[in-house]
Amino acid sequence: MKRKLISLLCLALIALAGAFGQTKKVELKFAWWGSQVRHEATIKVIELYQKLHPNVSISYEFAGFDDYWMKMTTMAAGGQLPDIMQQDYSRITEWQSRNLLEPLDPFVQNKTINLSDVAKPILDSGTINGKLYAISAGSNSYAMMLDVDAFKKAGIPLPSQDWTWDEFEKIALQLHEKLGIYGIGGGFEVDELAWKANYLSDGQFLYSADGKSLAYKDDALLVNFLKMLQRLIKAGAAPTYQEYMSSFGGATGNVQMDAIVTGKSAIEAVWSNQVVTVATAAGPGRNFAVVHIPRHKKTGLPGNFLKPSMFLSITSQSKNKEEAAKFIDFWTNSVEANLILNAERGVPISAKVREALKQTVSPINKVVFEYMDRVAKDAAPTPPPEPARHAEIRANVYVPLIREQVFYGVLTPEEAAKQLRIQATEILKRP
Amino acid sequence: MKKRATTSASAGRQRLDNLAGYLFISPWLFGFLALTVIPIIASIFLSFTNYDILSPPRWVGLQNFKKMFFEDPRYWKSVRATLYYALTAVPLRLIVALSVAMLLNTSRRGVALYRALFYVPSVVGDSVAVAVMWRQIFGGDGLVNAFLRLFGLPGKRLWLADPQFAIWTLILLAAWQFGSAMLIFLAGLKQIPYELYESADIDGAGPVRKFFSITIPQLTPIIFFNLVMQTINGLIVFTPALIITNGGPLDTTNFYALYLYKRGFENFQMGYASAMAWILMLVTALLTLVIFKTSSRWVFYESEVK
Amino acid sequence: MKAQSTAHRVSRTLLFHVFTAACGLLMVYPILWLAGSSLKGPSEIWRKVYSLFPEHPTLENYINGWKGFGGVSFTVYYRNSLVYTVLATAFTIVSSAVVAFGFARIRFKGKNFLFACMLVTMMIPPQILIIPQYIVFSKLGWVNTYLPLIVPRLFGQAFFIFMFVQFMRGIPLELDEAAQIDGCSRGRIFWSVHLPLMKPALFTGSIFSFYWTWNDFFAPLIYLNNPKRYTLSVALRSFSDPSGLTDWGAIFAMSFLSLIPVIVLFIAFQRFLVQGIATTGLKG
């Protein structure tokens, strides 16, 4: 009897301690997509945060890009979203428009998230209808990556940062003539380059501010661009679409298998946070430079802008928004955390952190940091996040029309551009 | 008098049979009612809404069906691609599977090893590695082109990027992964009573006659099963296209289930995707029904429980 | 005369082996390539994609891959997958066989309708049921456990039920009748007449269920939220991200390792597959 009583007491004590402990411990959930390198680094940052904040316990999950979105979509339907969610520039409006994301302005105002070292254009990219919904996890920009050795071998000087599309075409042709390789590798017709960058460098956005219509007025820029690409392909200075799509890189979108990696092309359009990946895949002993996306006029703007590579956002289903905000603050401002992350998600958005990292990064990462410094001063204006229907337009209109039918020779650039306008307008207009 | 006794006895037996029958199928029935019926009904309902997953569904009547049939050319492309695939890949896989099963249904030495060799490709399933492997084989400098060049043929085609041939790379994948159908055939072959062959031997029947008068008839329940299953799977084919071609080029491999998935999960049009799913299900059910109806003419059952 | 027929037989056997081995090699070429690539270093893997044999074989990919993510190694993923797959397969096969017996051998009211219902469940594209099912399981509080993956297996799977029904229909009815006259209950008939005769089908089914469960990533991806619970199939897919640095060598290495249990199981069960009715004593 006595023993029973004691054991009962012990049990009660344990339960009490458990309950006590539980009330104190904050549980957060963080989800992201990525590959092994990113998983490793992110988990280390989480462990660091838990060490500094023993009252917080962060559980996490990760997946590849497609799997991640499939999973998050399902979880949203079941009301099981994590507190902190990695977001994508092209999808954020979709999520915000369904009230799944929490506005972060209150946390910025009460200084839970300190953004004093972050430039305004970077924040604009996560602002929808005047409210901040997401904070860039690292800055990014589209870029032309150059194989310095190939240029040397061909006896062609590296292009300047303010090169134009005309110069680009000439250089790509020359590279092909001299070296027999592609001037520019594949993937050039992607919407970022042919569509967005092309209009951006003319000071035009794709979509109107309300996201209900196309903003660019003329199709000529797109048509001319596609025609230039067709000329390059015809000359052999760029792979045919078939060649590109049947290559590993083209089919999987995997940059580390792009033509520039194997030395089959001298120029490749990549995201700045992919430069390190490409260079790593190319192996030691290779030299690369990074320049702006070309402009239409020497005095005009380049086609690239300061883009968040991805965002961190707090979901409206979160029960611990304040604590989630604290973690985002840590992510943004902690030098220690960013040393671990090593700019793999793009260049840190805090100027202070950026300066601190510059001292330690590898030579190729330094090229990227310097490029991003130039982009900060010289870039097209950052367009607002794409309208919610951009994903649909891209998948059901842009890719089939421009990426496929034009380059399979089914449609002329003129017809395709016209069709693109008609079909995109229809989708945007839909209530 | 006697007659009434038998009817009441048989009625009693029928009651007992009902009980026993439901007892045996109760696991499935329970799972069906508890876990499957609700999602199915939900998806029927959703096909009449504009459900976008992230916000509550809104009733739109037949709008999804109207859009699908009359306003979406990509829909019909996906129908065509799927039918083409099902009509080629299914027979091909079945023929290969049956031939290999026959080939391996001997007691020669080394058969165990061969069986493993032929089965292994099916084991790799639809993993990321398969995608890369397949791209490698059908790439510009891949195995297929190398093989063609060996015979002096122009081996330069980019199979996966060619709108005419891309679908055939997937059909060949299906033929290559015939292992599961083969194993079922093998198990079926093993079930054929040996005495039938013995008595045929006594009658002096040759191998061809034995094949057509014993093997094939005895195997018909299994052929039937494989035909039904492969047809169903051929019509809802999804993963190979997702991982290898992602529907391209020019939508030539944009199979029905893949297109439905993209609409649902990439464009958040789950209402539209549900509508697509239900049309597919109806068509599949109809086709299966046709196979079932004809089966009484060609499927031979050792036992018939009516 | 006799010598000639022996020669004939030898040449036929030889032909059989040459032909089958050639086809077999063609069949496994991609897997050999996978094995070869898993031994290539990072500088070789995409530069000499087409060669089967690594120039400088290295186990680096296996070591890097096995480490997994953030301290959770492939040992964990392997164990998760094994436990999940073995349990799910056992449940599926046992329950499907029981249900199949009901459909194949007993006459009961509503049988045809229910059988049709079961077939129809296989015709619905599974992608469409993901969300409604997820909502059901999340209402039950089963998310982030193995329950949504394993519990449904207790109720049999349509494919296997249908398959077993077809095999049972190939078993002569006289056997049942004889057993019934001997006073066997239905349970007894199922257990001691049908199950032994169905051995090849049961083992075939087990192999299928095993490797389908082993390879399946959709359900584990959706329902398991903690990396410590990830299965092998989910972990394998977490390596790759098109926009980032993907360790393809590690993917190849781990993919190759993930094939091994399935192949081992196949070889282990092979023995039972070849046991036909002839050897299980139908004659008596």
Q: What are A4-16's pLDDT values in tens digits?
A: 555 555 555 455 4
* Mean pLDDT (whole number) for A45-72: 92
* Mean pLDDT (whole number) for A93-116: 91
Determine, for residues C244 and A59 on separate chains, whether the beta-carbon distance falls below 8 Å. no
For residue C247, being part of any structural domain is answered with: no
Whether residues A297 and A334 share a domain: the answer is no
pLDDT at res. C282: 42
Determine contact: C269 vs chain B, CB below 8 A.
no
User: Is pLDDT above 80 for A211?
Assistant: yes
Determine contact: C47 vs chain B, CB below 8 A.
no
Q: What number of H helices and E strands is found in chain B?
A: 15, 0
Could you list the residue range(s) of the whole structural domain that residue A248 is in? 142-304+389-429
pLDDT at res. B244: 84
For residue B30, being part of any structural domain is answered with: no
- Chain B residues in contact with A431 (beta carbon < 8 A): none
B246 to chain A: closest CA residue: A251
* Mean pLDDT (whole number) for A302-317: 91
For residue A5, being part of any structural domain is answered with: no
Most confident of A287-301, B116-130, B187-201: A287-301
- CB-defined contacts B:C, below 8 A: 289
User: Is pLDDT above 80 for B98?
Assistant: yes
pLDDT at res. C283: 34
For residue B94, being part of any structural domain is answered with: yes
* Mean pLDDT (whole number) for A191-219: 87
Among C23, C43, C62, residue at a domain's last position? C62
Element (H, E) at A140: strand A139-140
Question: How many Cα atoms are found within 13 Å in the side-chain-facing hemisphere of C247?
Answer: 28
| Cβ within 8 Å of residue A268, ≥6 positions away | A144, A145, A184, A185, A187, A258, A259, A260, A278
pLDDT digits (tens, 9 = 90+) for B278-302: 999 999 999 999 999 998 888 888 7
Which tops the pLDDT comparison, A253 or A293? A293
For residue C267, being part of any structural domain is answered with: no
Instruction: Tell me the CATH number at A267.
Output: 3.40.190.10
pLDDT at res. C1: 47
pLDDT at res. A12: 53
Instruction: Tell me the CATH number at C187.
Output: 1.10.3720.10
User: Is pLDDT above 50 for B82?
Assistant: yes
| Cβ within 8 Å of residue A106, ≥6 positions away | none
Could you list the residue range(s) of the whole structural domain that residue C216 is in? 71-238
Q: Is A34 helix (H, G, I), strand (E, B) or coil?
A: coil
User: Is pLDDT above 50 for B1?
Assistant: no
Which of B54, B74, B161 is nearest residue A242 as measured by Cβ atoms? B161
Instruction: Look at residues A96, A94, A93, A89 and name the one whose alpha carbon lies nearest to residue A65.
Output: A89
For residue A7, being part of any structural domain is answered with: no
Place of tokens 């679409």: A241
Residue B73 is encoded by which pair of tokens? 């050319």
pLDDT digits (tens, 9 = 90+) for C230-280: 999 899 888 877 666 777 888 889 999 998 898 888 888 887 776 644 434
User: Is pLDDT above 60 for A95?
Assistant: yes
For residue C154, being part of any structural domain is answered with: yes
Determine, for residues B132 and A248 on separate chains, whether the beta-carbon distance falls below 8 Å. yes
Q: Specify the DSSP class assigned to residue A160.
A: P
Provide the 10 A C-beta neighbour count for residue C50.
12
Determine, for residues C237 and A71 on separate chains, whether the beta-carbon distance falls below 8 Å. no
Whether residues A186 and A132 share a domain: the answer is no
Give me the number of domains chain C comprises: 2
pLDDT at res. A21: 47
Determine, for residues B28 and C154 on separate chains, whether the beta-carbon distance falls below 8 Å. no
For residue C245, being part of any structural domain is answered with: no
Rounded to the nearest angstrom, the minimum Cα separation between A36 and chain C is 5
Q: Specify the DSSP class assigned to residue A251.
A: H
pLDDT at res. C3: 59
Burial of C64 (0-12, 13-18, 19+ CB in 10 A): middle
Pairing status of strand A127-128 against strand A131-132:
antiparallel
Bridge partners for A58 per DSSP:
A28
Q: Is A219 helix (H, G, I), strand (E, B) or coil?
A: coil
ipTM of the modeled complex: 0.87
* Mean pLDDT (whole number) for A339-345: 89
Pairing status of strand A307-308 against strand A139-140:
antiparallel
Alpha carbon distance A398, A66 (integer Å): 19
- Give contacts of A 152-191 with C, CB under 8 A: none
Whether residues C234 and C196 share a domain: the answer is yes
**What is chain A's mean pLDDT, rounded?**
87
Phi, psi of C213 (to 5 degrees): -65, -40
For residue C262, being part of any structural domain is answered with: no
Element (H, E) at A289: strand A288-291
For residue A1, being part of any structural domain is answered with: no
Alpha carbon distance A293, A268 (integer Å): 11
Could you list the residue range(s) of the whole structural domain that residue B194 is in? 71-127+166-298
Whether residues A201 and A283 share a domain: the answer is yes
- Chain B residues in contact with A74 (beta carbon < 8 A): 53
Residue C234 is encoded by which pair of tokens? 């989910």
Separation of CA B114 from chain center: 25
A404 to chain B: closest CA residue: B250
Give me the number of domains chain B comprises: 1
For residue A258, being part of any structural domain is answered with: yes
Whether residues A313 and A349 share a domain: the answer is yes
Whether residues A279 and A169 share a domain: the answer is yes
Distances from the Cα of B305 to the Cαs of B10, B256, C158, C187, in angstroms?
16, 37, 20, 17
For residue B220, being part of any structural domain is answered with: yes
Determine, for residues A37 and C243 on separate chains, whether the beta-carbon distance falls below 8 Å. no
Determine contact: C129 vs chain B, CB below 8 A.
yes
Instruction: Look at residues A37, A407, A91 and name the one whose alpha carbon lies nearest to residue A256.
Output: A37
Which tops the pLDDT comparison, A360 or C134? C134
Whether residues C141 and C169 share a domain: the answer is yes
Kindly report the CA angle at A152 between A150 and A156, in degrees rounded to 5?
95
Question: How many Cα atoms are found within 13 Å in the side-chain-facing hemisphere of B97?
Answer: 29
Give me the number of domains chain A comprises: 2
For residue A19, being part of any structural domain is answered with: no
Whether residues A149 and A296 share a domain: the answer is yes
Determine, for residues C123 and B281 on separate chains, whether the beta-carbon distance falls below 8 Å. yes
Conformational region of residue A211, where left means phi above 0, alpha means psi within -120 to 50, and beta covers everything else:
left
Alpha carbon distance B162, B249 (integer Å): 7
Which tops the pLDDT comparison, A413 or C172? A413
* Mean pLDDT (whole number) for A190-196: 82
pLDDT band, residue A94 (cuts 50/70/90):
confident
Kindly report the CA angle at B267 between B263 and B273, in degrees rounded to 5?
30
- Asked if residue A280 lies in contact with residue A254, where contact means CB atoms within 8 angstroms, the answer is no
For residue C283, being part of any structural domain is answered with: no
Determine contact: A246 vs chain B, CB below 8 A.
yes
Residue C133 is encoded by which pair of tokens? 């099912």
What is the greatest pairwise CA distance in chain B? 86
Q: Is A296 helix (H, G, I), strand (E, B) or coil?
A: coil
Q: Please spell the DSSP secondary structure of B264-298, one letter per residue.
A: IIIS--HHHHHHHHHHHHHHHHHHHHHHHHHHHHH
For residue A359, being part of any structural domain is answered with: yes
pLDDT band, residue B56 (cuts 50/70/90):
confident
Which of A98, A246, A404 is nearest residue B140 as measured by Cβ atoms? A246
Q: What is the pTM of this model?
A: 0.86
pLDDT at res. B70: 92
Residue A83 is encoded by which pair of tokens? 């507190």
Whether residues A313 and A300 share a domain: the answer is no
Rounded to the nearest angstrom, the minimum Cα separation between C262 and chain A is 24
Q: Please spell the DSSP secondary structure of chain C, one letter per residue.
A: -HHHHHHHHHHHHHHHHHHHHHHHHHHHHHHHHHHHHTTS-HHHHTTSTT-SS-SS--SHHHHHHHT-BTTB-HHHHHHHHHHHHHHHHHHHHHHHHHHHHHHHH---TTHHHHHHHHHHHTTS-HHHHHHHHHHHHHHTT-TTSSHHHHGGGGG--HHHHHHHHHHHTTS-HHHHHHHHHTT--HHHIIIIIIHHHTHHHHHHHHHHHHHHHHH--HHHHHH--SGGG--HHHHHHTT--TTS---HHHHHHHHHHHHHHHHHHHHHHHHHHS--GGGTT---
Whether residues C78 and C207 share a domain: the answer is yes
Bridge partners for A309 per DSSP:
none
Whether residues A271 and A154 share a domain: the answer is yes
Subunits that touch chain A (at least 3 Cβ pairs < 8 angstroms)? B, C
- Chain C residues in contact with B304 (beta carbon < 8 A): 169, 173
Q: Specify the DSSP class assigned to residue A159.
A: P
pLDDT at res. A82: 95
Subunits that touch chain C (at least 3 Cβ pairs < 8 angstroms)? A, B
Q: What percent of chain B has pLDDT over 90?
A: 38
Provide the 10 A C-beta neighbour count for residue B129.
27
For residue B226, being part of any structural domain is answered with: yes
pLDDT at res. A2: 52
Window from A56-60, A251-255, B22-26 with minimum mean pLDDT: A251-255
Residue from C25, C91, C108 whose CB has the most chain B CBs within 10 Å, to mutate:
C108
For residue C157, being part of any structural domain is answered with: yes
Burial of C161 (0-12, 13-18, 19+ CB in 10 A): buried
pLDDT at res. C161: 95
Buried-state track A47-61, b at ≥16 Cβ within 10 A, e below 16: ebbeeebeebebbbb
Residue B261 is encoded by which pair of tokens? 């998935």
Q: What is the CA radius of gyration of chain A?
A: 24
Most confident of A89-98, B67-76, B200-209, C168-177: B67-76
Whether residues A200 and A270 share a domain: the answer is yes
Whether residues C27 and C164 share a domain: the answer is no
Instruction: Tell me the CATH number at B248.
Output: 1.10.3720.10
User: Is pLDDT above 80 for A67?
Assistant: yes
pLDDT at res. C279: 38
For residue A381, being part of any structural domain is answered with: no
pLDDT at res. A16: 47
For residue B137, being part of any structural domain is answered with: no
For residue C175, being part of any structural domain is answered with: yes
pLDDT digits (tens, 9 = 90+) for A379-411: 888 887 788 888 888 888 898 888 888 988 889
Whether residues C35 and C103 share a domain: the answer is no
User: Is pLDDT above 60 for B235?
Assistant: yes
Determine, for residues B117 and C24 on separate chains, whether the beta-carbon distance falls below 8 Å. yes
Give the number of residues written for chain C: 284
Whether residues A296 and A177 share a domain: the answer is yes
Which of A70, A95, A408 is nearest residue B250 as measured by Cβ atoms? A408
Whether residues A229 and A285 share a domain: the answer is yes
Whether residues A228 and A134 share a domain: the answer is no
Q: What does each of the 284 residues of chain C score in pLDDT, given as a tens digit? A: 455 677 888 888 888 888 888 888 888 888 888 889 899 887 777 666 677 788 888 898 899 889 888 888 999 999 999 999 999 999 999 999 999 999 999 989 999 999 999 999 999 998 898 899 999 999 999 988 999 999 999 999 999 999 999 888 888 888 888 998 988 888 899 998 889 888 888 998 999 999 899 988 889 999 998 889 999 989 988 887 766 677 788 888 999 999 889 888 888 888 777 664 443 434 33
For residue A3, being part of any structural domain is answered with: no
Kindly report the CA angle at B207 between B205 and B212, in degrees rounded to 5?
85
Q: Which amino acid would we find at residue B195?
A: E
Instruction: Look at residues C277, C264, C255 and name the one whose alpha carbon lies nearest to residue C197.
Output: C277
Distances from the Cα of B74 to the Cαs of A336, B78, B165, B256, C117, in angstroms?
50, 6, 19, 10, 31
pLDDT at res. A242: 79
| Cβ within 8 Å of residue A339, ≥6 positions away | A356, A357, A360
